[in-house]
């Protein structure tokens, strides 16, 4: 199976987009239009990310598009993006009978996850304080509290909580790249970007695999449906 590199343990199994595509072909005719479109889009972008094994920036961006394709749906005005994503990951953890997401988080990526948790540069309140010239040290108190709760979730094996924390941190990195807040191939953010690519490169295929295991589960209507 093909997976994205970037200093990953070669013993860690990674499900390739080609494998997921073959699985999807076997079930797609029985799926609803929403479910079929959602999985087709996610797998297509995951395959594109795999082609960028030499470019961590491009790989991460394509991985994030694949993630959006997997979970994006219509939502109410009372629901924000974070709530929508956490509802998605909570549902996946409940559906994941093999506990593959749990094993990936707590057996394969404990080091990179702890590094993300300890990294202030992927903690949004740090940047807010910097932009607003806030010298109250409030962000530091928030950071300490966030680290404490995150580590407690890790030690407690709370899969959906840790997933939420990891993606909160990765979302800051995503914003830096997508909104032009970082230089391409910059040496400044290399380590967290390599960790991010390794984590997403394993978690995303597992997420899609869980969705394929439950082809009839309703993940909501896709944004921008196919119009003929």
Burial class (CB in 10 A: 0-12, 13-18, 19+), 166: buried
DSSP state of 106: I
DSSP state of 7: S
Which uninterrupted H or E stretch holds 193? helix 190-213
Percent residues over pLDDT 90 in the chain: 61
Q: What does the pLDDT look like over 44-72, one tens digit per residue?
A: 999 999 999 899 999 999 999 999 999 98
Task: Give the number of other CB atoms < 10 A from CB of residue 98.
Answer: 11
pLDDT in tens, the chain (228 residues): 334 433 444 344 689 999 999 999 999 999 999 999 999 999 999 999 999 989 999 999 999 999 999 998 765 555 677 778 888 999 999 999 999 999 998 888 888 888 888 999 999 999 999 999 998 889 999 999 999 998 899 889 899 889 988 999 999 999 999 999 999 988 888 888 999 999 999 999 999 999 999 999 999 888 888 888
- On whether the pTM is more than 0.85, the answer is yes
Task: Give the domain ranges of the chain.
Answer: 17-213
| Residue 110, both tokens | 């404990």
Handedness of CA 64, 42, 103, 108 (dihedral sign): negative
Reference 199, options 123, 85, 119, 106; nearest CA is 106
Reference 205, options 102, 70, 108; nearest CA is 70
How many whole angstroms separate alpha carbon 211 and alpha carbon 179? 30
Reference 21, options 57, 66, 54; nearest CA is 66
pLDDT at 110: 82
How many whole angstroms separate alpha carbon 201 and alpha carbon 193? 12
How many whole angstroms separate alpha carbon 123 and alpha carbon 207? 24
How many whole angstroms separate alpha carbon 176 and alpha carbon 170? 10
The three-state secondary structure class of 75 is coil
Which uninterrupted H or E stretch holds 92? helix 81-95
């Amino acid at each position: 199976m093909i997976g994205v590199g970037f200093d990953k343990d070669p013993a860690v199994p990674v499900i390739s987009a080609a494998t997921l595509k073959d699985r999807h072909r076997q079930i797609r005719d029985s799926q609803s239009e929403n479910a079929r479109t959602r999985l087709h889009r996610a797998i297509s972008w995951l395959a594109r990310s795999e082609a960028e094994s030499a470019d961590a920036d491009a790989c991460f961006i394509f991985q994030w598009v694949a993630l959006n394709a997997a979970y994006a749906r219509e939502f109410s005005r009372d629901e924000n993006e974070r709530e929508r994503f956490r509802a998605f990951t909570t549902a996946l953890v409940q559906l994941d009978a093999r506990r593959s997401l749990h094993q990936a988080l707590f057996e394969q990526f404990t080091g990179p996850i702890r590094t993300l948790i300890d990294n202030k540069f992927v903690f949004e309140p740090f940047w807010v304080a910097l932009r607003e010239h806030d010298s109250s040290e409030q962000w530091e108190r928030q950071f300490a509290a966030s680290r404490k709760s995150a580590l407690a979730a890790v030690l407690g094996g709370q899969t959906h909580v840790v997933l939420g924390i990891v993606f909160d941190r990765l979302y800051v990195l995503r914003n830096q790249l997508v909104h032009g807040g970082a230089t391409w191939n910059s040496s400044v953010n290399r380590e967290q970007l390599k960790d991010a690519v390794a984590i997403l490169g394993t978690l995303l295929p597992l997420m899609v695999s869980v969705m394929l295991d439950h082809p009839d589960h309703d993940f909501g209507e896709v944004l921008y449906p196919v119009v003929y």
